[in-house]
Copies of this chain bind each other. A is one copy, B any other.
Amino acid sequence: MLIPSLIVHGGAGDMPIAEHADYLAGCRVAFEAGWRLLERGESALNAVEAAVRSMEDNPIFDAGVGSVLNSEGEIELDAMIMDGAQLDLGAVAAVRGIANPITLARRIMEDSGHNMLVGSGARQYAARIGMRLCSQAELTVPREVARFREYQKTTVKKQQQLADGHDTVGAVAIDRFGNIAAATSTGGMAFKLPGRVGDSPLVGSGAYADNLTGGASATGHGEFIMRVLLSKTATDAVGSGMTAQEAAEHAIAVLKRRVNGKAGIIVVDQQGRVGFAHNTPHMAVAWRSPISGEVQVYLQPDAAQIQE
């Protein structure tokens, strides 16, 4: 029996100082939601789903409730979950009116006979399996409405600055049986075109999990992350003998060198070690110290982390 391990992230980007404490508190709560399950012997898959659901339900993050609006003022969500035992995966993209797309992704993996459903087909599947559909209004928070109004009345150049910030959420775990799982969920980029899909729901880009190597979940500018398959790059690095931390740093270095992208990544290796790296100003992360058993949180380099 292994000691289980879990790490969660709440996005990487330039996060407003006023919101730092909320990011860290949200990551801590999500970590606890997943850890509780791992501690009582549940699977890594259940743990990452629970951690990500917690962040989807928390309006501070760009996932589920609180997601960014697209160029038409609509919310379209992407998510994927992967089970490293069989390399099974489920993914959903550009789906509207689903509060917990990570759970829809899991149902797609387990019950649909397919791995990925998108757009109106994904929503139709959710309805067919009895998942509650919600209105856009239920997912929309005042912060994002205000941001969208700002976007509508500004110049194209300023619009690009407003669109910055990628608060995708994710979790990676290994359970006591050595099964590794990873999950990622996002509202994507603010003011994206309708139907735009970023890295989050793409296997090997937004997440990957393989019991023989490790698991990873990425966050950042998706158009760059997917060009180097950031999560698969990280788990392959674990497979070549790197620790989780070395693999996370390696993946970000590859991203920087090959496509000059900006992102963050969390990694768990086969031995249950966790690691993370980012080349953005901030990245919100929570994990558990294997020595003290205490939950650790992180937001930026060279700064004492805010304790709520």
How near does chain B come to A238, taking the closest CB pair, in angstroms?
15
How near does chain B come to A296, taking the closest CB pair, in angstroms?
32
Cβ–Cβ contact B232 & A204, under 8 A: yes
Which of A22-30, A31-39, A111-119, A170-178 lies at the interface? A111-119
Cβ–Cβ contact B195 & A121, under 8 A: yes
Which of A1-9, A10-18, A223-231, A279-287 lies at the interface? A223-231
How does the 8 Å CB contact mask read for A74-116 relative to B, with 1 for contact and 0 for none? Answer: 0010000000001111010110000000000000000011111
Q: How far is the CA of A195 from the CA of B93 in the complex (A)?
A: 9
Residues of the B chain whose Cβ atoms lie less than 8 Å from the Cβ of A203? 202, 204-205, 226-227, 229
Residues of the B chain whose Cβ atoms lie less than 8 Å from the Cβ of A114? 192-193, 196-198, 223
Q: Is A73 an interface residue, CB under 8 A from the partner?
A: no
How does the 8 Å CB contact mask read for A217-251 relative to B, with 1 for contact and 0 for none? Answer: 00000110011110010001000000000000000
Q: Known contacts A204-B205, A227-B203; is A195 also within 8 Å of B118 by CB?
A: yes
Residues of A that sit less than 8 Å from B by CB: 76, 86-89, 91, 93-94, 112-122, 124-125, 192-198, 202-205, 222-223, 226-229, 232, 236, 258-259
Contact of A202 among B192, B198, B202 (CB under 8 A): B202
Q: How far is the CA of A193 from the CA of B203 in the complex (A)?
A: 19
Contact of A195 among B122, B198, B205, B222 (CB under 8 A): B122
Among the interface residues A89, A116, A120, which one has the most CB atoms of the partner chain B within 10 A? A116
How near does chain B come to A45, taking the closest CB pair, in angstroms?
15
Number of copies of chain A assembled together: 2
20 CB-based A-B contacts, threshold 8 Å = A87-B228, A89-B226, A89-B227, A91-B197, A112-B196, A114-B223, A115-B198, A115-B223, A115-B226, A116-B196, A118-B195, A120-B195, A121-B193, A121-B196, A124-B195, A125-B193, A125-B195, A202-B202, A204-B204, A236-B236
Cβ–Cβ contact B119 & A121, under 8 A: yes
Cβ–Cβ contact A87 & B258, under 8 A: yes
Cβ–Cβ contact B227 & A112, under 8 A: no
Beyond the given A114-B198, A119-B195, A202-B203, please list 9 additional residue pairs across the A-B interface where CB-CB is below 8 A. A91-B197, A112-B193, A112-B196, A119-B119, A119-B120, A120-B194, A121-B193, A203-B229, A204-B232
Cβ–Cβ contact B119 & A227, under 8 A: no
Contact of A194 among B91, B124, B204 (CB under 8 A): B124
Residues of the B chain whose Cβ atoms lie less than 8 Å from the Cβ of A195? 117-122, 124-125
